[in-house]
Structure 1
Amino acid sequence: MRSVIAVAHRGDPYRVRENTLASIRSALARGADAVEIDVRLTWDGVPVLLHDDTLRRLWRIDRPLSALSLAEVRSLTGPEGVPTLSEALLASDPYRVMIDLRGATEESVRTVVGTVRECEAADRVFYCSSAPAMLLVRAADPAAEISLTWTTLAPPRPVLVDALAPRWLNYRFGLVSRALTERVHRDGLLVSAWTADTRRTMRRLIDDGVDAITTNRVDTLTSVLTGART
């Protein structure tokens, strides 16, 4: 039977603070096939896991990440706080990791791709974001696996597809239908859907033929997938 990849959104955020090592480990323990993480650079150029551009929402510290060194981030968030990308890749090994490049620039993308190479994780990492960020990834790594985040029903232009050579199109779940997945599959690409958190939505996406589902409730998704296979 066709397999659907369960992608844990920022780890296991309903149980453990998102984008932390504990959250990654919790998601993998609950059956995730892959973990999606958000990566930004500190002031001194170290890739770390953080969705927002400040520490305010998660850590109640109203400081921009871009103005903080890694040492300052450590002192503000503690030993179990914001992890580096290198630490996250080690904690997730040997599972797949989807890196969402937040606030991507040419410098940040080169740094992230370089870190992935240094950690010998290129074979299990894939990148997701909008077309401008993915073009930067393709320039930094001609062999990178790309999941192009696409926010309209109209397909990406052929010239963009040719430039990016993505493996995936990554859609918000509300856009996905059987007709859409069939069209994308005919074009030789895979379909990823985000962020589905109810059993009803998960089942619909499975029926629509998606290849991966990103969720905040990976234990629920694995339960639904197990039921779908029986």
Structure 2
Amino acid sequence: MSRRPPVLAVAHRGDPYRYRENTLRSVESAAAAGADAVEVDVRLTRDGVPVLLHDPTLERLWEDPRPVHRLTLDELAEVGDPAGPRVPTLTEALKAVAETPATRLLIDLDEPGPAAAAHRAVADLGAAHRVAYCGPTAAMLAVRALDPDAEIALTWRQPRLPGRPLLDDLRPRYLNPPFGMVEPRIVGAAHDAGLLVSTWTVDLRRTVHRMLRTGVDSVTSNRIDMLRRELDA
């Protein structure tokens, strides 16, 4: 019998318990902590540059109420303390994880809009082998239309598997439900359909072990140090 591959440890928005989420310091810290992948959120500036930001506006992290899509990259560079953290570009994040060969970047797209620019940034660096994409159906279909070989994790919030027509069109490698929906039945069904299962966002040790008992293949956490320790143990 072949041995099951190790469960992957994915860092959610970097290492946000130590550094501000979706910043280079946070990405670098997660990679140094042994993350197999670092998940980052991508949005577009007004001039079409993909940058790392989860929210539509800069309010929560940067105390600036403006939406990022109304700012150029030069204007965005003026947000925050010039000597402190700032909103990085996707290209900068790709270069940061390249310093840690064992770590990949998981690009989270909430909508189709940033897909082409994100894919172009990856292609310009020749980094396709270091990248996977996750997000809801429309965004992942946009990625698949751009790249027949892209690794995709389909974010999924339904209690049953996607229909076969969608799976045939999208060809995801992972089904990616939130941890509250994960149970052995859906993991087993996904595996039977040829899918791996990733889950998010798991920040408690007991929840990590509950997810492992269901048979998941990848776990995403805000606490990458804790997750790495538990998986290694």
> Structure 2 length normalisation: TM-score?
0.94
Residue pairs, 1:63-102, within 5 angstroms: 63-77=66-80, 78=82, 80-93=85-98, 94=101, 95-102=103-110
2:50 to 38, 47, 50: 47
Contact persistence 2:112–2:140 (CA under 8 A): no
Query: Which residue matches 1:127?
Result: 133
Matches of 2:180 and 2:65, distance apart in 1: 33
Query: Which residue matches 2:143?
Result: 137
Cα displacement string for residues 81-103 of structure 1 (whole angstroms, at most 9, x for unaligned residues): 00000000000113211101134
Matches of 2:165 and 2:110, distance apart in 1: 24
Root-mean-square deviation (CA, aligned residues, Å) is 1.1
Matches of 1:154 and 1:144, distance apart in 2: 24
Residue 58 of structure 1: how far off its partner (Å):
0.2
The alignment covers a number of residue pairs equal to 225
Verify: 1:187 aligned to 2:187, yes or no: no
> Structure 1 length normalisation: TM-score?
0.95
Matches of 2:147 and 2:33, distance apart in 1: 32
Residue pairs, 1:1-230, within 5 angstroms: 2=4, 3-77=6-80, 78=82, 80-93=85-98, 94=101, 95-105=103-113, 108-227=114-233
Q: Which amino acid aligns with 1:26?
A: S
3-state SS in 2 of match to 1:99: strand
Q: Which amino acid aligns with 2:52?
A: L
Matches of 1:217 and 1:24, distance apart in 2: 13
Matches of 2:32 and 2:150, distance apart in 1: 27
Q: Which consecutive unaligned segments of at least 5 residues does structure 1 have?
A: none
Matches of 1:102 and 1:85, distance apart in 2: 15
More helix by share: 1
3-state SS in 1 of match to 2:19: coil
3-state SS in 1 of match to 2:40: strand
